[in-house]
Amino acid sequence: MNSTTAEAAGIRPRLARTLTLSHAVLYGLGVTIGAGIYVLVGVAAGRAGMHAPLAFLGAAAVMGLSAASFAELGTRMPVSASEAAYVDRAFRLRWFTILTGLLVIVTAIISAATISAGSAGYVGVLLPLPGSSIIAGVVLTMAAISCLATASSITFAGVMTLIEVGGLLLIVGAGFSEGVGLIERLPEAWPGGNPTAWVGVFGTAMIAVFSFIGFEHLVNIAEEMKTPSKTLPRALFVTLGLTAVIYAGVTWVAVVTVPPDELARSPAPLAHSSLNA
């Protein structure tokens, strides 16, 4: 039965449920771990200093509230329209549903623009091209990939996720192998009773939240998950937890190997810290 016949018979076409928890977590990590951490490490180091890793853990805790909300809504309505579908079911106002969908698009555009601009500093280390050309190339490449079928795009995202996470873990590994005191200096990450330091941590956590944006897109593939009532909540929290651990570890290596003020001034802080590890 094709889609036209199904609609005529009053049957709403549904997406095939083929994605497992592994697929979902890989997808979640792929859309969460990104240029945000590469860009925000310098910002976090400049604002919170040696306490920057704690700010990323705090941001993850804040985002955990959103994860719980998406887990509840996504299991009740496992559809690809996600936020727009939730608002439509709650308020039954078409204009509000459309507005929500448009806001989701605007958020994605702003995030993509910020991350694309941030990636120029890193790509520029390897390719001596103008920043505007690099940004345009990144945007066009990602647009082409998004046109692929879901299975193909998720496979690509999974491969890129493994490469990306592997690169971040290499930074952590380099820090340990060089014996820069990652374990011995851990007490420096705790602000103790310093109220000024805590203000810096909380303020930085609100900015670090940006680096976790993306995990909520897991609800967009809920309609394609096997047993979404179990898979979606697990995928959301596993993604958020793994991302938080990786971000905190990478940030700690960065602030230990390079002075925070120097990281804040660098256009490619992680590349800078890797060279010094």
pLDDT in tens, 47-64: 999 999 999 999 999 999
| Mean pLDDT in residue range 152-167 | 76
For residue 1, what pLDDT is reported? 44
Mean pLDDT of 254-270: 81
pLDDT at 118 over 80: no
**Phi, psi values for residue 180, rounded to 5°:** -90, 10
pLDDT at 150: 65
CA distance 260 to 245: 20
Q: What is the mean pLDDT of the chain?
A: 83
* Span of 62-71, 193-202, 248-257, 265-274 with lowest mean pLDDT: 265-274
DSSP secondary structure code for residue 50 in this structure: G
Q: What's the predicted TM-score (pTM) here?
A: 0.78
Report the alpha-carbon distance of residue 266 to residue 39 in Å, rounded.
Answer: 10
Closest CA to 34 of 125, 128, 122, 153: 122
Tokens of 203: 């303020």
Distance separating alpha carbons of residues 69 and 5, to the nearest angstrom = 36
Per the model's pLDDT, the better-predicted residue between 231 and 79 turns out to be 231
CATH classification (class only), 18-79+152-276: mainly alpha
Locate the domains of the chain by residue range. 18-79+152-276
pLDDT band at 273 (very low <50, low <70, confident <90, very high): low
User: What is the model's pLDDT at position 4?
Assistant: 46
Write out the two tokens for 126. Answer: 């390897």
Query: Is 116 within 8 Å of 138 (Cβ atoms)?
Result: yes
pLDDT score at 252: 92
When pLDDT is cut at 50, 70 and 90, the band that residue 190 belongs to is very high
Q: Which residue has the tokens 């078409």?
A: 94
Give pLDDT, residue 44: 92
pLDDT for the residue 94: 93
Pull the structure tokens for residue 232: 């979606």
Helices (H), the chain: 3-8, 21-32, 35-48, 52-76, 83-91, 94-126, 131-146, 150-177, 195-208, 228-257, 260-265, 269-276
Round to whole Å and give the CA distance between 127 and 20.
Answer: 37
Query: For 121-158, what is each residue's pLDDT tens digit?
Result: 778 777 888 888 888 888 888 888 878 766 677 677 77
> Which residues make Cβ contacts (< 8 Å) with residue 207, sequence separation at least 6?
40, 43, 44, 47, 55
Per-residue pLDDT tens digits for 1-47: 444 444 444 455 667 777 889 888 988 888 888 766 777 888 899 99
- Give the Cα separation of 131 and 121 in Å (integer): 8
